[in-house]
Amino acid sequence: QSQELSQARIDYHVALQALQEHGTRMVCTGKMHTDRICRFDYLCYSSEAEEFVFFHSNSSVMLPNLGSRRFQPALLDLSSVEDHNTQYFNFLELPAATLKFMSKPVFVPDVTLILNRFNPDNLMHVFHDDLLPAYYTMKQYSDLDDEARLVFMEGWSEGPHFDLYRLLSSKQPLLKEQLRNFGKLMCFTKSYVGLSKMTTWYQYGFVQPQGPKANMLVSGNEIRQFARALMEKMNITSVEEVEKEGGSSEDEKEKKDEYIVVFSRSTTRLILNEAELIMVLAQEFQMRVVTVSLEDQSFPSIIQVISGASMLVSMHGAQLITSLFLPRRATVVELFPFAVNPEQYTPYKTLASLPGMDLHYISWRNTNEENTVTHPDRPWEQGGITHLEKEEQERILASKDVPRHLCCRNPEWLFRIYQDTLVDIPSVLEVLKEGMKSKPSMKKSKPASLVHPGRVREPQCQTSVQTTNEAKLTVSWQIPWNLKYLKVREVKYEVWIQEQGENTYMPYILPQQNYTFSENIKPFTTYLVWVRCIFNKNLLGPFADVLMCRT
């Protein structure tokens, strides 16, 4: 296997000499371990110690040089899950001189990205925690290109979705267990360690109950570009149609080949009357209904189907991450078992609602206890509860709503989320009809402009004193530079006026480029004035430099 790393491509003696002379070099971004990614020259890994090794020499570099704060708690997170104590990265240190007492290192010539997969068995985790972050980490560092080598250090085997990880680069990813095949010491010529968290939108509830991340930094645009790139790699032809002016004949033409996908689970969290649900959906929407499942189809063939669907219907579960491949304007319908509150488990709702994702989201929950099938006798990780004390079992059985809880072993949560459901057809139809009312119509749903206004230019103020207690303040400005190139539906300006020394201000929204204020304006007073431009009600520009206006 070591030929695969093609030692021939680098001059072994040059590499060894460079390592011995220069040691390891590290430069990182990020102030904290949670936002840090590090780039290394000659980072080594001892498969014997199962540790990364930093070799010190006169010309080695370690930035940040944290001293022993490097262990409080770690240099960086190796997975995209924030500050998880099983996902920390660090290295051991040795003087480069000790190399001569060690077995000869094997050099990895490829530019390498070293990371932990968080939960490679679960499709949601694969996409949210690994594929999207790795894809955009690779975009961040241009030498992490299609030839980059990925190394997964979490210690798991390939897992059921390894083909998806293979799409990230043309080189076979390496697993931790494979590193020992390369000898006792391997050294990565150039490597990056850690993952960007920029694209993640959900936190799983390790320190507070699960929910959307507090500070989301990703939009539908980046998710869709990632989806498109992955589809290209899977040789899927996108059927997403070019945006058309919404003429009625074209609407009808499109309607003909619209279809609904029911994503079915075959082992747990079943829809017990799936056939009936499919029939009713077909009737209600006058569309074909296609079922897919991870058990029956290849992933690419599922994505091919989903990428052309008008609606995706599924029980809550990891398979719903495939909604990121839905075309714009499609609807996601997420079904929840009895006693599970849809508002508290929103990874897919949050995804569908990202700005620019252009998906419509509807949830339904089973509120009829007679329609649920529980599995108290299963092992605890599939929601069994018979291992619990009798009283606790009875409390869980009597409860009609899982209270908020932390990840990941709450037995009441597991018990409820692994129920099978006989879906009540009238109530689903009701929710769908109601939910479709708020779906943006074809014509309205033209992708909204994402362009923000620039600063207003040449802001000025003029003042005059009228009487001993009356004054006027005229503020004027020019349009932002980028506006002359744009067609904007609505342009407004916001002016804030603050009397110097006061800590409140008066905000005004104005349609024109100048205004004379006379109410609440006092003579012989200094006012601070801020002006900014607003496009289409919610695209706020930056404030121009503050004006000091003395009446």
Q: Please give the residue ranges that form the binding site for ligand UDP (CB under 6 A).
A: 122-124, 265-268, 294-295, 317-319
- Cα separation of 76 and 88, whole Å? 6
**What is the number of other CB atoms lying within 10 angstroms of the CB of residue 311?**
22
Backbone φ, ψ for residue 406 (5° rounding): -90, 165
Q: How far is the CB of 418 from ligand UDP (least distance, A)?
A: 7
Q: Which is nearest to 39 in space by CA: 27, 55, 54, 57?
A: 27
When the beta carbons of 141 and 206 are compared against ligand UDP, the nearer one is 206
Q: How far is the CB of 323 from ligand UDP (least distance, A)?
A: 13
Q: How far is the CB of 321 from ligand UDP (least distance, A)?
A: 8
When the beta carbons of 266 and 449 are compared against ligand UDP, the nearer one is 266
Q: How far is the CB of 478 from ligand UDP (least distance, A)?
A: 54
Residue 190, strand partner residues: 41, 111
* Alpha-carbon dihedral angle through residues 393, 399, 404, 408, given to the nearest 10 degrees: 30
Using alpha carbons, list the distances in angstroms from residue 81 to 78, 141, 198, 289: 8, 20, 11, 36
- Crossing angle of the two packed helices 132-140 and 220-233, in degrees rounded to 10: 100
Task: Look at residue 527 and give its three-state secondary structure.
Answer: strand
Q: How far is the CB of 188 from ligand UDP (least distance, A)?
A: 31
When the beta carbons of 295 and 502 are compared against ligand UDP, the nearer one is 295
Segment (H or E) for 476: strand 470-478
DSSP state letters, 126-146: IIIIIIHHHHHHHHHSTTSST
When the beta carbons of 194 and 347 are compared against ligand UDP, the nearer one is 347
Q: How far is the CB of 292 from ligand UDP (least distance, A)?
A: 10
Q: How far is the CB of 291 from ligand UDP (least distance, A)?
A: 12
Using alpha carbons, list the distances in angstroms from residue 119 to 81, 130, 152, 284: 10, 9, 12, 38
Q: How far is the CB of 160 from ligand UDP (least distance, A)?
A: 8
When the beta carbons of 122 and 189 are compared against ligand UDP, the nearer one is 122
When the beta carbons of 278 and 497 are compared against ligand UDP, the nearer one is 278
Q: How far is the CB of 260 from ligand UDP (least distance, A)?
A: 19
- Cα separation of 531 and 545, whole Å? 8
Task: Look at residue 516 and give its three-state secondary structure.
Answer: strand
- Cα separation of 393 and 381, whole Å? 15
DSSP state letters, 178-194: HHGGG-SEEEEEEEEES
The answer to whether 488 and 535 are in contact (CB under 8 A) is: yes
Segment (H or E) for 112: strand 106-115
When the beta carbons of 191 and 304 are compared against ligand UDP, the nearer one is 304
When the beta carbons of 26 and 294 are compared against ligand UDP, the nearer one is 294
Q: How far is the CB of 344 from ligand UDP (least distance, A)?
A: 14
When the beta carbons of 268 and 427 are compared against ligand UDP, the nearer one is 268
When the beta carbons of 123 and 544 are compared against ligand UDP, the nearer one is 123
Percent composition of the chain: helix, strand, coil (DSSP 3-state, to 5): 30, 25, 45
Using alpha carbons, list the distances in angstroms from residue 133 to 34, 130, 298: 14, 5, 23
When the beta carbons of 267 and 467 are compared against ligand UDP, the nearer one is 267
- Cα separation of 527 and 520, whole Å? 11
Q: Which is nearest to 420 in space by CA: 457, 371, 456, 379?
A: 371
Q: How far is the CB of 320 from ligand UDP (least distance, A)?
A: 8
